[in-house]
Chains A and B, each alone.
Chain A
Amino acid sequence: MTKRKKKTAAKRKKAAKPVTRRWAGKIWRFGLLLFGVFLGLLVPWVIYLNYQVTTEFEGRKWDLPSHVFARALDLYPGALLPVGDLEMELKAAGYRSSDQVSRPGQYRVSGSNVEIFRRSFRFHDVDEKASRFRVRVSGGKVAGVTALPGGQALDLARIEPAEIAAIYPLQKEDRSLVKVADVPPLLITGLQAVEDRNFKHHPGIDLRGILRAALANLKAGRAVQGGSTLTQQLVKNYFLTHDRTVARKFNEAIMALLLEAHYDKSQILEAYINEVFLGQQGAYAVHGFGQGSLYYFDQPLQRLEPNQVALLIGLVKGASYYNPRRHPERALARRNQVLAAFAETGLLSKAEAEREASRGLGVTEKPRSRGTRYHAFVDLVRRQLAQIYREDDLKTEGLRIFTTLAPSVQEKAQAAATRGLLQLEKRGMPATLQTAMVVADVSTGEVQALVGDRYPGRAGFNRAIHARRQIGSVIKPLVYLLALEHSERYSLVSRIEDEPLTLKQPNGSNWSPANYGGKSHGEVSLLEALTRSYNQATVRLGLQLGVNNLINRIQQLGVVAEIDAVPSIFLGAVELTPLEVTQIYQSIAAGGYSVPLRSVIAVQTANGDELVRYPLRMMPQPHREAISVLNYALTQVVEQGTASALPGLLGKAGSVAGKTGTTNDRRDSWFVGYTRNHVAVTWVGKDDNSPAGVTGSNAAMQLWGGLFRQLPYEPVDLRMPDGAYWLWVDSQSGYLTGKGCDRAIQIPFIDGSEPKQSTACFAAQEEDEESFWKKLFGKKKK
């Protein structure tokens, strides 16, 4: 029975077994299936992740923003540079005033001496090391430059250029790439000590690290340590997802393993050092220790002290939480934790670590500005570069662009524009006035400043480059130039009628130009007609010369815009931009040597290799002697013509040349003017081109004067070239006369254009001169 029982039990058991077995088999098979599916998915998934992570790593050509630099400031005995201007330049270049000039980037002004610690810099021509020197200024000029210490006199020194803009990639990340070899050893070892002690040995993930972190977290009851390796953190940074899901952790771990399988430790470390997120400057993310060092300390990474290295490493844990500018106490505590870890791992001795921990954060008050002040000028830079670069290259290749901007001139120009328009408003002019200004170097055509809006830093419509407006009387000098070029017919003393006239226009209508003020002046000299800007005389003269000849001449002077052949062109019925007007007047100010206006002089690769240079090129204009005579006439516009209020605005006399311009219904106000070294154009008007109540002298000239009152300059060069010379003439009749005779003035003439008649006083002096030569050589001079 028992046997049977047993049997039945066994039977039952036997019967029961297949059921569980069946289930187990099912589960087993299901598991196998799942595993198969998992494997089937995992393998392609890993392959996919592998593809992702390797392309990211290898194809990781960091998009580097291009850096745009101002011109470097040359310091030499004789340079026109008041102390205030020098300080303005130093500040623009990110220098800081300090009682102790002990580090590059610091300066100190004491009276007329300025001590400067110049940073090392790769200029567009050569590398220069950091150096300290003292500049002595006297009477608005550099009197001497001496090296420190030592006091050796220097003939020439220069300040590295201000960075005026960076042209950013779309991702808005800022980087300054560094190589592992250039990174301070403490940063490399310290980083591992704090973030990943087992970095050298783990295969990408660190199980012991995870365990240690888990234990520490358990002990503390909250998450105090992360077990992520540097490799995992790098992967996390690459793919920029910060969700804390298991799936992400899983992917991260796989990718870390894959990275380690493909690349060696130093490659991974270098990528990490350049990738890690260290802060946020406005819209731009600060990535990498190189950029972090510049951002927080304004120093290259190589020059950081141990406590600064510790702070940067501390920021890896949370750049915004430990932001040393916003939360200095947190940052200090974190830094000192890191220093303690340095001591614990033997990177620093205990004493060293304590000493470093007692120091301040050493962070600069503000990061170096990104120079929004220079929008308008940078527009011009982009325009010049667009001729050879795609916008994409500018944003990603890390180019170093060396420009011609003079920060102190730019600052003064913008201030003159902003302040000038406010003053005009106080005098009852509309608040909607706008302005544009261009300042260029006469001889080199280098644009030193550009103002495109009355409000500093406002980007948008750039009037200096894009506002195309009628130029009014600013065209007149070209009419007179054309006349002077016909020296057999005209000189500055030639007579012309300033009387009413009526012309039939090409469209059939009649045109009767009137003078400003409505008065006609009868017969006047060309000089008077130009300096007082008489319309009727100018139109008469223009008609004698021909509309088409004038258009040709304007084009010869560098204007490419199309111009309608109508007589009203003699009074400036032609639309040009302030930049185009500057180009015309550069040629005139330089005595007939046209130089294409430039804003860029050289472009380098990120490594400092020269890509392009824009050399100085000049084109001689025909009839340069006529241009020189015109230069004189334009100084008379300022001395006694429509711009005679200018010397009062400048606060000093001295030959400045210029011309006012006003258009119909007072819509536009222009002033073009130049000294020996600067040519500058200002425009004032309304954006909608409606009447604005402005004239050349009541608006644009006020702004021009406001600028040049602040600008060191030298008088216009009035030396005549071959083919032109100075003669004494009677200011009323225009006859030749003698020096010291009544109404005698000196005027330049082109060979062959001199007056044929002379005064009695002249004849008397002739006699004296004959006897002078007799005395000197004992015979009559032929």
Chain B
Amino acid sequence: MKNHSGKNCLARRKNRLVLAMRAVNTLLTIALVAFLSACATSTTTVPSTDREVDSRVREPAKEDSAGVQVFPLQNPAVKELLADAGTAESAGDFGQAATLLERALRIQPRDPEILQSLAEVQLQMKDYEQALNFATRSYDIGPRVGEICSRNWRTISVSREHLGHHTESVKAEQKATACMNTKPRGL
């Protein structure tokens, strides 16, 4: 019988296959990020748009992930509702967008994309507390890597900033940029 420090055990005792796949995945994404966007995302200038959700969440998240998306398979019904919600959102009808997204959520209650989309709608409705909560939930049950992870943390960051939690907001933004090179745990 040996004594171990907890952390050390954990790093080793996980399912080997998953670990190996994740290692490969991480290496690949690091390579991709390095290759495609030579300069780090935090220094990338983003074209400014009127909408905070685009300029501070969606566009930088796209940059962060360099097109790598880790979404679970989506039900076609959910896809249809997400598309309709997107249309309503572009037209500025946030109430309708939220209604459609909630309907999608009834079909797939644990879909990180739906939860994140709801968070982004709430961000535009200036309901920062709920935006924060939905983005956190999306991260908790989502892939915790890739574009959606970055959108999660950027939404959290923007919401915290509006709620007056500045240090926490900065921390969240750092988490966003790390979405592509930190190996998620506990899956």
Contacts and interface: CB of A to CB of B under 8 A. Distances in A.
Contact of B109 (A156, A441, A610): A441
A76 B77 contact: yes
B92 interface: no
A735 B1 CA distance: 10
**Interface majority SS on A: helix, strand, loop or mixed?**
loop
A725 B75 contact: no
A719 interface: yes
A444 B96 CA distance: 17
Contacts of B185: 722, 725
Interface stretch (A243-251, A267-275, A385-393, A753-761): A753-761
Contacts of A735: 1
A753 to B, nearest CB: 8
A443 B13 contact: no
Interface in A181-216: none
A76 B81 CA distance: 12
Contact of A752 (B6, B20, B110): B6
B144 interface: yes
Contacts of B110: 443, 676, 717
Contact of A618 (B2, B6, B137): B137
B10 A617 contact: no
Contacts of A618: 130, 133-134, 137
A769 interface: yes
B33 interface: no
Contact of A125 (B12, B20, B77, B96): B96
Nearest to B140: A721
A468 interface: no
Interface in B72-123: 75-77, 79-81, 95-96, 98-100, 102-103, 105-107, 109-110, 118
A697 B186 CA distance: 34
Contacts of B103: 74, 125
Q: How large, as a class, is the contact surface on chain A? A: 35 or more
Contacts of B141: 591, 717, 719, 721
A247 B138 CA distance: 75
B51 interface: no
A766 B1 CA distance: 12
A619 B10 CA distance: 30
Contacts of B1: 735, 757-760, 763
Nearest to A594: B133
Given A79-B107, A756-B3, A756-B6, A722 B187 contact: no
A501 B104 CA distance: 52
B136 interface: yes
Contact of A736 (B4, B16, B96): B4
A444 B109 contact: yes
Given A441-B109, A769-B16, A754 B77 contact: no
Interface in A107-135: 124-125
A731 interface: no
Contacts of B77: 74, 76-78, 155-156
A772 interface: yes
B91 to A, nearest CB: 14
A677 B105 contact: no
A728 B13 contact: yes
Interface string B138-168: 0011001000000000000000000000000
A724 B186 contact: yes
Contacts of A155: 76-77, 79-80
Interface in A603-633: 610, 613, 615-620, 624
A19 interface: no
B126 interface: no
Contact of A444 (B79, B99, B102, B184): B102
Contacts of B95: 610, 613
B13 A616 contact: no
A763 B10 contact: no
Contacts of A720: 186-187
Contacts of A724: 186
Contacts of B99: 124-125, 602, 613
A76 B80 CA distance: 11
Given A719-B187, A727-B10, A766-B12, A615 B109 contact: no
A208 B2 CA distance: 113
Contacts of A615: 98, 102
A226 B76 CA distance: 63
B22 interface: no
B9 interface: yes
A160 to B, nearest CB: 14
B14 A725 contact: yes
B187 to A, nearest CB: 7
Interface in A246-262: none
A593 interface: yes
B155 to A, nearest CB: 14
Nearest to A759: B1
A615 B103 CA distance: 11
Interface in A710-736: 717, 719-725, 727-728, 735-736
Nearest to B20: A776
A550 interface: no
B105 A723 contact: no
Nearest to B2: A763
Contacts of A677: 109
Interface in A24-45: none
B159 to A, nearest CB: 13
Nearest to A753: B6
A442 B187 CA distance: 21
B186 A736 contact: no
Given A125-B96, A618-B133, A727-B10, A443 B109 contact: yes
A85 to B, nearest CB: 16
B9 A758 contact: yes
A728 to B, nearest CB: 7
Nearest to B76: A155
Nearest to B80: A155
Given A156-B77, A591-B141, A615-B102, 11 more contacts: A74-B106, A77-B76, A591-B140, A601-B102, A617-B133, A620-B136, A717-B141, A721-B186, A725-B185, A728-B13, A769-B16
8 contacts: A443-B109, A591-B141, A613-B99, A618-B134, A720-B186, A735-B1, A756-B3, A757-B1
- Which 10 residue pairs are nearest across A and B when measured between Cβ atoms? A76-B77, A443-B109, A155-B76, A156-B77, A720-B186, A725-B186, A754-B6, A721-B140, A155-B80, A125-B99
